Amino acid sequence: MPQHPTWLDWLVLFGLSILWAGSFTLIKWALISFSPAAITASRTAIAAGVLLMVLMIKGKRLPPVWPRPDPFWGWVVAMGGFGCTLPFTLLNSSEQVISSGMAAILNATTPMFVAIVAPYFLRGEHWTLPKAIGISVGFAGVAILVGVEIFQQLGGPRLWAQLMVLVVAVSYAINSMLTRRMPRMDPWLVATGTSLAAAIMSLPLFVVFPVFTGPVVPEALAAVMALGLGATALGSVSLIWLISRTSALFATTVNYIIPFWAVAFGAWFLGEQLPGRAFGALALILLGIAISQWRLRPDRPGTSYGPMVPGPLPGRVHGGSPDEQTRRPD
């Protein structure tokens, strides 16, 4: 049963914001030596390998794939595609052209796209006046950023890079719907299965696209390792653990913090300087997110105007011993 956030939950949320904000800077460093496709495949493979070892140490095992695949795999394959392979590759490609801070600001639109698609995927989610106003305000912020590129260089690389990040936000929104609709499962199994599925789906990218963009330098290698171990492996487990303890609504608070850390990291470590309109756009986007989550009246029982927590299955959660299967994931 979700509980009121404690100091530990807030600490994990704060650490998660740093992990994911830092990934925008790490991608820039990784691109020194590796292609966008190689970064995606490497970080998911590293995460999957580490999480598989953790599962072995914890005495847990993934559900069977053969002869009859467990329904678990349908969920993690979809989450691996929409939550890892597709957005990672597009984000990596976009940062070849735009700054990490600009990518982070555009990526902050994810909760807006969640608000748009939620009424079509989740029971109890409806279009409301605050939601419509908030989404309009948020997209006004996007227009401030992207609109200039449309008029200055129609079809130019910067415009396409910015649009790619918006597709990333849509992909993350779809992944959020999957996370909120899936049955309650062990967070270690979900994180491991998602990373493993994403890594397998990323393998063909090695064949289609080049691996290297230049000589392999230590900072690029370190960046790829950090993306795999931190942002992907630890980040996935932390998010699912946080949702299981509190709520998905509390976990989405991280979206308000990430852009500020990402912009700061870009300035400190990469010397990036964003145009003044970027900060105005960020303010409108965050304001729009806040308005869209405003509730006109108290929630009715069973109704959620924010992200919903996946409910338990009638049966057991996947993986672990019989005793573990009757407990809430830890």
- Which tens digit of pLDDT belongs to each residue from 150-177? 656 556 788 899 999 999 999 999 988 8
Distance CA 192, CA 49 (A): 8
Asked if residue 1 belongs to a domain, the reply is no
Asked if residue 219 belongs to a domain, the reply is yes
- Which tens digit of pLDDT belongs to each residue from 3-20? 678 889 989 999 999 999
Asked if residue 141 belongs to a domain, the reply is yes
Distance CA 308, CA 10 (A): 19
46 is in which domain, residue-wise?
7-326
The pLDDT value given to residue 295: 62
Residue among 154, 19, 119 nearest 163 (CA): 154
Among left, alpha and beta (phi > 0; psi -120 to 50; other), residue 93 is alpha
Q: Pick the more confident residue, 76 or 209.
A: 76
The pLDDT value given to residue 304: 33
Asked if residue 2 belongs to a domain, the reply is no
The pLDDT value given to residue 146: 77
Neighbours of 262 (CB within 10 A): 28
Give the CA distances from residue 240 to residues 9, 114, 270, 329, in Å, rounded to whole numbers and listed in that order. Answer: 12, 17, 31, 9
Residue 249 tokens read as 């609504």
Hunting for tokens 């079809």 — which residue is that?
Answer: 155
pLDDT tops 90 at residue 257: no
Asked if residue 305 belongs to a domain, the reply is yes
Helix, strand, coil proportions of the chain in percent (round to 5)? 70, 0, 30
- Which tens digit of pLDDT belongs to each residue from 166-209? 999 999 999 888 888 888 888 889 989 999 999 999 988 878 88
The pLDDT value given to residue 62: 94
Mean pLDDT for 301-326 is: 35
Asked if residue 93 belongs to a domain, the reply is yes
Three-state DSSP at 86 gives: helix
Asked if residue 175 belongs to a domain, the reply is yes
Residue 24 tokens read as 């925008």
Mean pLDDT for 212-230 is: 95
Distance CA 94, CA 158 (A): 8
The pLDDT value given to residue 3: 65
Residue among 30, 50, 25 nearest 40 (CA): 30
What domain count does the chain have?
1
pLDDT tops 70 at residue 63: yes
Distance CA 29, CA 225 (A): 11
pLDDT tops 50 at residue 303: no
For 280, list phi and psi in degrees, rounded to 5.
-65, -40
Residues constituting the chain = 330
Asked whether 29 and 229 are in contact (CB, 8 A), the reply is: no
Hunting for tokens 């963009």 — which residue is that?
Answer: 213
Residue among 94, 106, 90, 83 nearest 231 (CA): 83
List b or e across 47-72, with b for residues whose CB sees 16 or more CB atoms inside 10 angstroms.
Answer: bbbbbbeebeeeebebeeeeeeeeeb
Q: Half-sphere exposure (CA, 13 Å, Cβ side) for 275? A: 9
